Structure 1
Amino acid sequence: MDKNDVKSQLLSSNKNSRREIFGKTITIIAMIIIIIVVVAILFFVAQKGLLTFFENKVNPLDFLAGQTWNPIQMSPDGKPLVGALPMFTGSLIVTLMSALIAAPVAIGAGIFMTEISPKYGRRILQPVIELLVGIPSVVYGFIGLVVVVPFIRKAFGGSGYGILAGVFVLFVMILPTVTSMTVDALRSVPGFYKEASLGLGATRWQTIWRVLLRAATPGILTAVIFGMARAFGEALAVQMVIGGALVMPTSLTKPASTLTSVLTSQMGNATPGISLNSLWTLALLLLIMALVFNMIMRWIASKGNINK
């Protein structure tokens, strides 16, 4: 090896080293920026949301368990009427019901796309799923307003606005997300699981039910929790069909409200003081629930083995 070859190798090594250092630097800077943004958002929302308890002297238990929401009025003992239980209950009911309906439909669609008809099923369903994902939430809300609400009004009576209308809208909204993640979970199952099951004489349905679904259970549960997180934080579409009544939900067909619907409807007219501070507290509650959903997803993802 002559001197020219040695010099060229050294130059190439130096270039690669500089590129590696440059790439690591850019990555570290991007990571630091993301951490700063997340911490800043958490700090800002927490600072604003806690003013209700420290500045306006509202008991946290009264805020979470109270059933009356009227920040501009005071109770007989001089405390603001900021009970978030009706909105929190409405959010939970809408989220859980939409997830319960979406989960079996998404699992069935995922099985069809991956096992029963992988060629034709994916060609048909994949464009439909991508189309549903790309539709803005306001379009879902408008469709719910002109289709779902009149249907519920004719079928069950009442105004048509309520939790049931919100459930139908959210079901359609989270279905493509849950379906896509379910398909990914089923496709991530090692192929030898299926081959071993069929080799032992199991039928295709027995293999799907007792092997593939069990192996993909953590991924499917993660998909359902992810869909619940999106449903819990959805604002505009739910606001358009749920009715906006600040009362405890007593019927699926009566107007109710959620945390996000109250935030979107009252934030623009809130005045500085307890009215604005209480809305920031609702935002903090939403942020905490998002963190809870994220922690649940991470915990489920860590349980990636087949349940025994």
Structure 2
Amino acid sequence: MNEQDQLMKSSFQTRQDHWGKLVSYFCITVIGLLVISIIYFIAARGLNMFIKDGVSLKDFLTGMTWDPTVTDAHAKPEVGAWPMIFTSFAVTILATLVATPLALAVAIFMTELAPKKAASFMQSVIELLVGIPSVVYGFVGLVVVVPFIRHLFGGTGSGILAAVTVLFVMVLPTITSMSIDSLKNVPKNYREASIALGATLWQTIYKVILRSAIPGILTAVIFGMARAFGEALAVQMVIGNAPLMPENLISPASTLTSTLTVGIGNTVMGTLPNDALWSLALVLMLMSLAFNLLVKLVNKKGVSRNA
């Protein structure tokens, strides 16, 4: 290849790099503007209730009564969101507590104990569970879980217990698949060194592999919690949609997402009921940002620990 051909090839590669950078920067800019627009839109709508309607932030976060659409002229609208906030956290935490041990056990079995064929089959099952739409989970919960709970404990069958059961199945594949990736990322020489020092297989799993994979497992748990906290349709179908403080696990209740999906189509833009729902959406968005910050914090600590 002569000098002229080399110059032409170098010039072509330079132009490719230039256009590649431009396309990348354009896509990053579009994504950034889209995220900023969504945050601004939800924040502007969500703050209307406090600025325009004069609702106190304390009353909104700690109030126990949700009735923004009162028809009595002498009654004051109530927009206490604490029952929905409490129920959202209760359902999320309980579903995660139930799903995490089972997901971790499945992940350990698939990465450390199972034959390749068994691991491949279980991986296919996990991928199938991930791909099932949430409405299918909700429908199964409505026709199977709710009647079972009603027959076993009485009442309507709808409530936190039914929602936890459905969400447990929904977040299980998420936590499992991410935990599998974390366990696989543990260097192979860690296992070999532990076995060479005389440790048993279970000692190696417990004291070496799991401890090395803790940041990734915590990330999986947080992502599972975020999935459970933001789930709307499946929870709406089984929880009862009563914006009340739940008395027990089988009394009808309502989460932030179920209240939003039930009420957003029945309100008029600019009214207090609509502004109240947008405030609930703002709380959901802030919780989503909090989960993302937790993931970054866990990953940062994991990197510094490994270093």
TM-score tier by shorter-chain length is over 0.9
TM superposition shift of 1:208: 0.2
Does 2:165 align with 1:173? no
The counterpart of 1:86, out of the listed 83, 86, 95, is 83
Contact 1:74 1:81 in 2 (8 A): no
Gaps of 5+ in 1: none
Per-residue CA deviations over 1:185-236 (Å, capped at 9, x if unaligned) read: 0001111111111110000000000110000000000000000001000000
The counterpart of 1:247, out of the listed 232, 244, 247, is 244
Contact 1:112 1:118 in 2 (8 A): no
The aligned amino acid for 1:34 is I
Structure 2 residue matching 1:11: 3-state secondary structure: helix
Contact 1:71 1:278 in 2 (8 A): yes
TM superposition shift of 1:79: 5.0
CA distance in 2, matches of 1:286, 1:250: 23
The aligned amino acid for 1:24 is K
Q: CA RMSD in A?
A: 1.6
TM superposition shift of 1:22: 0.7
The counterpart of 1:190, out of the listed 164, 183, 187, is 187
Residue aligning to 1:134: 131
Contact 1:150 1:160 in 2 (8 A): yes
The aligned amino acid for 1:19 is Q
The aligned amino acid for 1:281 is S
The counterpart of 2:286, out of the listed 284, 288, 296, is 288
CA distance in 1, matches of 2:27, 2:2: 37
Q: With the length of structure 1 as denominator, give the TM-score of the two structures.
A: 0.96
CA distance in 2, matches of 1:128, 1:120: 13
The counterpart of 1:38, out of the listed 35, 40, 44, is 35
CA distance in 2, matches of 1:265, 1:69: 13
Does 2:5 align with 1:8? yes
The counterpart of 2:222, out of the listed 220, 225, 232, is 225
Output aligned runs, 1:34-183, within 5 Å. 34-73=31-70, 79-183=76-180
TM superposition shift of 1:80: 2.9
Contact 1:163 1:254 in 2 (8 A): yes
TM superposition shift of 1:263: 0.2
CA distance in 1, matches of 2:115, 2:16: 43
TM superposition shift of 1:118: 4.5
Aligned pair in 2 of structure 1 residues 36, 227: CA closer, same or farther (>3 Å)? same
Residue aligning to 2:273: 275
Contact 1:63 1:83 in 2 (8 A): yes
Aligned pair in 2 of structure 1 residues 74, 202: CA closer, same or farther (>3 Å)? farther
Over the matched positions of the two proteins, sequence identity in percent amounts to: 54
Per-residue CA deviations over 1:123-180 (Å, capped at 9, x if unaligned) read: 1211101110110000000000000001111111111000000000001011111100
The aligned amino acid for 1:105 is L
Per-residue CA deviations over 1:268-288 (Å, capped at 9, x if unaligned) read: 001231010000000000000
The aligned length equals 304
Structure 1 residue matching 2:253: 3-state secondary structure: coil
TM superposition shift of 1:246: 1.1
Per-residue CA deviations over 1:225-273 (Å, capped at 9, x if unaligned) read: 0000010000000000000111101200111000000000000001231
Gaps of 5+ in 2: none
Aligned pair in 2 of structure 1 residues 75, 112: CA closer, same or farther (>3 Å)? farther
Question: Would you identify which runs of 4 or more consecutive aligned residues in structure 1 move more than 2 Å?
Answer: 73-80
The aligned amino acid for 1:295 is L
CA distance in 1, matches of 2:223, 2:76: 37
CA distance in 1, matches of 2:72, 2:281: 23
